[in-house]
Chain A
Amino acid sequence: QKEVEQNSGPLSVPEGAIASLNCTYSDRGSQSFFWYRQYSGKSPELIMSIYSNGDKEDGRFTAQLNKASQYVSLLIRDSQPSDSATYLCAVIVAGGSYIPTFGRGTSLIVHP
């Protein structure tokens, strides 16, 4: 059973702070990890993908992967009110049909 766990939140941070979003997964065969942002009433938008242990930075976003501990996180630096959304973690397991399993998402609120 593939499971992707995220705290549903909401996570509330002040504007300008670092928001840290976490995701854990159960299948040790997981090899690809994605973060999507979903605004209320809209569809998911891909913001980051990561495949190797360590950090991957893209602008204000940093994805961190630790396969030994089976978690992936997303850091958002200098958080803005426009970052307020639900962040979905998705995981692909090796050797199958490469269909991602999504977590339920973490709601982030950035308050001015």
Chain B
Amino acid sequence: DTGVSQNPRHKITKRGQNVTFRCDPISEHNRLYWYRQTLGQGPEFLTYFQNEAQLEKSRLLSDRFSAERPKGSFSTLEIQRTEQGDSAMYLCASSLVAGADNEQFFGPGTRLTVL
């Protein structure tokens, strides 16, 4: 399967703990995106990378969130000092092109529950 993969698929943590998620994009895709989705809402943009460069971060991305894509391949999203409001599905997507025909392909997501 050469689609987008994400690990772990589920994460339960206690408030105040740090968590890290991983995303492996489709191999030839140079753009990688992170989104957050809560129940009844569409995906909300968090940040994106073009190759290893992080080009844009949403105002939703507080200082407790950090993302990396060190070699332009896989990416990690870390949340420090988790809060109950961080509970959501974290989605990763990748795309081949950077223009208007930016068709994104999503991974299965990581569901985070903060107790």
Chain A: residues with CB nearer than 8 A to chain B? Answer: 4, 8, 31-32, 34, 36, 42-46, 49, 51, 88, 90, 92, 94, 97-105
Contact = CB atoms under 8 A, between A and B. Distances in A.
Given A44-B106, A104-B40, A98 B100 contact: yes
Contacts of B56: 97, 99
Given A99-B45, A99-B48, A43 B107 contact: yes
Interface in B49-65: 55-56
Interface of B: 33, 40-45, 48, 55-56, 89, 91, 98-109
Contacts of A31: 100
A108 B109 CA distance: 22
Q: Chain B interface secondary structure, helix, strand, loop or mixed?
A: loop
Contacts, number: 59
B101 A45 contact: no
17 contacts: A4-B42, A42-B108, A44-B106, A46-B103, A49-B101, A51-B100, A88-B42, A92-B102, A97-B48, A99-B48, A99-B56, A102-B42, A102-B43, A102-B44, A104-B41, A104-B42, A105-B42
A98 B108 contact: no
- State the 9 A-B residue pairs at the shortest beta-carbon distance, nearest first: A102-B42, A43-B106, A32-B100, A98-B102, A43-B109, A104-B42, A102-B43, A44-B106, A31-B100
